[in-house]
Structure 1
Amino acid sequence: MLDPRAAREATRAVPGIPRDEDGPVFREPWEAQAFAMALALHGKGLFTWSEWAATLADQIKRAQAAGDPDTGETYYRHWLATLERLVAAKGVASSETLHRYRDAWDRACDRTPHGAPIELKPEDFAG
């Protein structure tokens, strides 16, 4: 569950967050989860919102240079990539660890029937 106060603070501090009059809006559950992770890490003092905004802007600029049409559908993909960059830059987890877990989640997702909870197992990390 999102802390409404923290969500309002983030939407004021970070330009471009998709929102309506009630606050941030999400097309998919994972987008809300990525948003909530950023709120939690900011709340723990991992980064400032100005640091976040600068890193996110750089991430979007890189994606546009690589051909992202910037139509809005990829905004939270950039948000997630920014999370990964800052977590690695701050030494919370290495890029290798992040990739290892992302690959494990992909494998777990591939074997999970639609609608069932995704559960990580040791073999998901075997690669």
Structure 2
Amino acid sequence: MTPDARAAALASDALPDLPRDHDGPVFREPWEAHAFAMAVTLHARGLFTWPEWAAALAEEITRAQQRGDPDTGETYYQHWLATLERMIAAKGVASRETQMQYRDAWDRAADRTPHGQPIALVPDDFCKPH
């Protein structure tokens, strides 16, 4: 088993509500797999423990339910991503402002990139208003 596969298996074991099938975690969209992989990587680098992650994710889901999320499972990875963003800011890896700057730059790069081509960030992506 590769280190990435081991890390994904540990995440699956530590997070009982993780959407999965008999092969492991399942994703409806590529971004969901990317968000999962980012959390697995940050855990492997020691940014947080799985119990810490599970508690933060549970808090995020509870907040979303209080705002009216029907909790049908379709928004699970939206909560996963929100938890990741919150933890990255709380741990001092990247502030909310920095995260928004990169999100906006990525949106600008994606908007100018022809379908099917790789998206590449350039310095101007960080300077232009969206």
Length-normalised TM-score, structure 1: 0.93
Alignment of 1:1-127 (within 5 A): 3-126=4-127, 127=129
1:69-115 CA distance string (max 9 Å, x none): 22112111111111111111011111110111111111211222221
Deviation, 1:15, is 2.5
| Rounded Cα–Cα distance in structure 1 between residues aligned with 2:90 and 2:12 | 23
Deviation, 1:8, is 1.1
Query: How big is the alpha-carbon RMSD for the aligned residues of Structure 1 and Structure 2?
Result: 1.5
| Rounded Cα–Cα distance in structure 2 between residues aligned with 1:32 and 1:99 | 20
Farther-moved stretch of structure 1 (114-123 vs 53-62) = 114-123
Structure 1 stretches lacking a partner, 5+ long: none
Farther-moved stretch of structure 1 (65-74 vs 49-58) = 65-74
| Rounded Cα–Cα distance in structure 1 between residues aligned with 2:116 and 2:71 | 30
Amino acid at match of 1:15: P
Deviation, 1:2, is 7.7
Farther-moved stretch of structure 1 (85-94 vs 65-74) = 65-74
Preserved CA contact (<8 Å) 1:2 1:36: no
> 4+ residue stretches of structure 1 with deviation over 2 A?
none
Amino acid at match of 2:24: G
Preserved CA contact (<8 Å) 1:18 1:24: yes
Preserved CA contact (<8 Å) 1:15 1:53: no
Farther-moved stretch of structure 1 (108-117 vs 29-38) = 108-117
1:37-91 CA distance string (max 9 Å, x none): 1111001110010110011111111112222222112111111111111111011
| Rounded Cα–Cα distance in structure 1 between residues aligned with 2:54 and 2:66 | 18
The share of aligned pairs that are identical, in percent, is 71
Amino acid at match of 2:47: L
